Structure formats: C-alpha cells, structure tokens
Structure 1
C-alpha cells in the first residue's frame, strides 16, 4: 500500500459534471486518437473544437477542468503542470464553442504514460482478472511495478483499468494551491466504485 496514499484520482466535480461537452465535427481529426497510448503530435494539425450538448445552456461558462473523451483543461490548469516537465503528456489547443461565444484558452490533455499497476491481491473486483473481465470496486496500486518507473514518468499517468487518471500528490498540491475549478481529487486508498458519486470525499488532501 506504499503508493495508495500518494496518488489521487481526478474527476469532474458536481459543477463541471453538470455539463456534457463533446467534439464538433470540424475538430481536428487527429484528436480522435486521444485514447492512444503513444504520442499523437504528428496526427494533430489544427485546433480542437468542442461544443456543449447538455446542462444549463443559458448560464454555461467553462471551468478549468472538464472530462470528455479525455481531459479538457484551461490555460491556468496547463500552466500549473508545465513546470513539472511531464514526459508523456501533451496539450492541444481546443476551442469551446457555445451559442455565440468561443473560448480559445483550453486544451485537450493527452496522457500517454499508461500503466497496468493495480495490485491484484489488495484491490477488489467484481468478476475475474482472467481476460480482464471485471469491474474494479476498490483500488490498490502495485508498488513492485511503480518502483521500477522513474518518478517523472509517473507523476501523471493513465491506469489501464478504470478509474483512469492518476496524479501524484505533488501535482495535486500545485493544482489545489492554484484553486483550479471543476475538478475533484480523491486519494486512491479512499476511492471505491461508490465514491464516484460522493464529491465530499474528493476534497481531502
């Protein structure tokens, strides 16, 4: 359980989660590959475009963090992460378009540090690990795997299983200190499949 207290899962909070955003038809085609576990820099030639499809349409204003196919973050959020010089993390400028308003200062964050690091003895699942046929109910990280990965390559990474986005406590502290909006944080050891719906848990640091 060495790392269960050091890593946080990022999710939308109830404010940003009240809206659903998705890519527009004229968004750069390369951004269809945001789920890739390798760089997509050569595929992305232009800006992304996102529209709001659900929520209080009359009062929408972007938050610093939204989840779509991947993570959509503001320039403020990006500036917090840049000093960490994160390998395996790229940002692609994306416009949020809503009615007659366009916000240019957002980015799709593509994380292609991708690891299978759940501890199969301590984590709890519904199903079987055979053929990856399971739902993860409680998560514990495998220190034997993470110890072999340099810290700079695991400050921010994606988990092969859900929940997906994991951030080291040093990065989370920087984000919290910057008061970014729209995002919730929960320590790995506090997470369970039921806590997905409990925003109060996400505030502990």
Structure 2
C-alpha cells in the first residue's frame, strides 16, 4: 500500500444531498471547528439544512458544512480505528421540515499538518500569514514532510495552509467505502482541483 496515497473527503456531487450549517443558537457548534485540540466533555453539536434545499432531499451518511458530519454507519468504522487527532462528537441535524436526524457525529479533526508542496502546487500564499494559502487550484503533498511522520499519526488530518481541506489516507478511505456509504465522495489528491 502506498503510504502517501491521500484523498479529500467531500459531499457527493448529486444535488439531492443538502448542505448543512450550524444552528444559529448553537455557539459551541460554531466554535468547535476553530478548536485545535481535543474537546473535553463536548456537547451535542446541532446543525440544520441550509439553502438551497433540494426539491427531494436525500438523507445521506455524509454531510459537509465544510466540517464533516457522518452517520453512525461511518462513525462505527472510524471509532475502532482509534485515529490520532480526530474525535467523534454526537450531532443532530434539523431538516427543512423540522424533523431531527439523530445518530450523526461531527468529526472534530485537530490533527493539523503543514504538508503542501508549494513548488509543485498551483496556489497563492496569504498576504498576512505566510503559513497559510489564500487560494488553492490544485496541490501536491510534500512527501519529505510526510515521511518524517509515522503513518499512524497522519491517517486523517487538516492542512495548516488551508484548513477546509480534510485528508484521509487510502486505508481509512477503503474502510469507509467498504460499508457502502451514501453521499460521500473521496477524490485522490492528484485528481482534485478547486
């Protein structure tokens, strides 16, 4: 297995899968993605469908906002893997009709790596923070950086340079896809473009 084969997780392209966002009165749900450490005694996270709502929304195993919200089906794959730097926090999603979808989990990723090979990527540095990127069209990961980190410490991570990109190692992708989840799309880093 290629220890440098990574995929970006996203919502499937079918427009039947709704977008979600934090509930307006759920301050902690809005703040958790900004937390760069494990959250002790986390509260239930609360999300809702956002506009534009599909005519016939499909309830899937994956929602993005851009944080990842997964069904119990996917959470039951991730939990026993005991992945360093992620935490599964219970979540509820309110649909456009007011129904509450339970048995969902927010994936709190607090494993951040500075791993973009800027020489081989098409990106633009942030004017105010040289560690961050203002824009990415496509990118490659820096293998020299990754090879210094044991694989078990980089199975799932966010890019320091562009935190809305969440990367999953092929071994984790294979485990998730083995349960045939609905609504999730994994794109190989080399094939991804903005």
TM range (shorter): 0.7 to 0.9
> Take 2:170 and 2:104, find their aligned partners in 1: how far apart are those partners?
24
Matches within 5 A, 1:170-189: 170-189=171-190
Q: Does 1:81 align with 2:81?
A: no
**Does structure 2 conserve the Cα–Cα contact (< 8 Å) formed by 1:8 and 1:188?**
yes
| DSSP-derived class of the 2:84 partner | coil
Number of residues paired by the alignment? 189
Q: Note the 1:156-195 alignment, pairs <5 A.
A: 156-162=156-162, 164-193=165-194
Q: CA deviation at 1:134?
A: 4.1
Residue 49 of structure 1 is matched in structure 2 by: 46
Counterpart residue number, 1:19: 18
By how many angstroms is 1:101 displaced?
A: 1.9
CA distance in 2, matches of 1:30, 1:23: 6
Q: CA deviation at 1:47?
A: 1.3
Provide structure 1 residue ranges, at least 5 long, that are not aligned to the other structure.
Answer: 194-205
Shift of 1:30: 5.8
Q: Which moved more, 1:143-152 or 1:119-128?
A: 119-128
**CA distance in structure 2 between the partners assigned to 1:17 and 1:121 by the alignment:** 38
The residue matched to 1:59 in structure 2 has which SS?
A: coil
Question: Residues 128 and 56 of structure 1: is their aligned pair in 2 closer, same or farther, counting only changes over 3 Å?
Answer: closer
Structure 2, unaligned stretches of length 5 or more?
none
Equivalent residue, structure 2, for 1:108? 106
Shift of 1:128: 7.2
- Name the counterpart of 2:92: 95
- When the two structures are superposed, what TM-score results if normalisation uses the length of structure 2? 0.85
SS of aligned partner of 1:40: coil
Q: CA deviation at 1:82?
A: 1.7
Runs of 4+ in 1 over 6 A off after TM superposition: none
1:202 matched residue in structure 2: none
Partner of 1:153: 153
In 1, Cα distance between equivalents of 2:155 and 2:63: 20
* Inter-partner Cα distance in structure 2 for 1:158 and 1:35: 12
